[in-house]
Amino acid sequence: MTIDGIIERLKSGNERFVSDKLEGKLQDTSRRDALTGGQEPFAILLSCADSRVVPELAFDTGLGELFVVRVAGNVANTSSIASIEYAVAHLGTQVIVVMGHESCGAVTAAMNGGNNGHNINHLLSHVTPALAASNDGANVNDVVKKNAELTVEELTSRSSILKDAVDSGKLKIVPAYYNLGSGKVDFL
């Protein structure tokens, strides 16, 4: 598949999800057996860990089709970047989607500030640039979208593997936003 074909595949899968017409393919014993020798996911999803956001369902994909990295706030930390680098460098995956979502709790916590303890504060520090880049009075969903956009930039600025792949035309990184009520994914 071409990069544009992969993005279209994600969009058409999301259309099926939104219209409650999931195909549910590649989720059986024969698919599990076929994947025991390796994987070739066509896209990487950096998504929030929120239980209401399930990329495999949102894009109507089966086993082995998506390489999903989930962390609260869909932040690009060292571990999430390393996981993404692995999929690009070793699996040849050509598309990364950084997907934020409506009413994100991590972004809300970052906006509220305060001391949330060492680990959560560290996680939320990755959302701070989106807060700074957002207009005064921005709501949580505006900041979520800005966070996805800035995370796309951060992936290439913090990883030579990803930057080189983007610069050579072998990889495209796109921001997206998941609407909780409808399940619709907006590519930003």
Nearest to 47 by CA among 151, 125, 160: 151
Helix (H) or strand (E) holding 172: strand 172-178
DSSP one-letter code for 116: -
pLDDT one-digit tens code per residue, 51-99: 999 999 999 999 999 999 999 999 999 999 999 999 999 999 999 999 9
pLDDT score of 45: 98
**Contact between residue 62 and residue 148 where contact means Cβ atoms under 8 Å apart:** no
Distance CA 25, CA 42 (A): 15
Architecture of domain 3-187: 3-Layer(aba) Sandwich (3.40)
pLDDT score of 58: 98
pLDDT score of 78: 96
Six token digits for residue 121: 């504060």
pLDDT mean over 36-45: 97
Mean pLDDT of the chain: 97
**Contact between residue 69 and residue 84 where contact means Cβ atoms under 8 Å apart:** yes
The domain segmentation of the chain, as residue ranges, is 3-187
Distance CA 122, CA 187 (A): 28
Helix (H) or strand (E) holding 87: helix 78-91
pLDDT score of 26: 94
pLDDT score of 167: 98
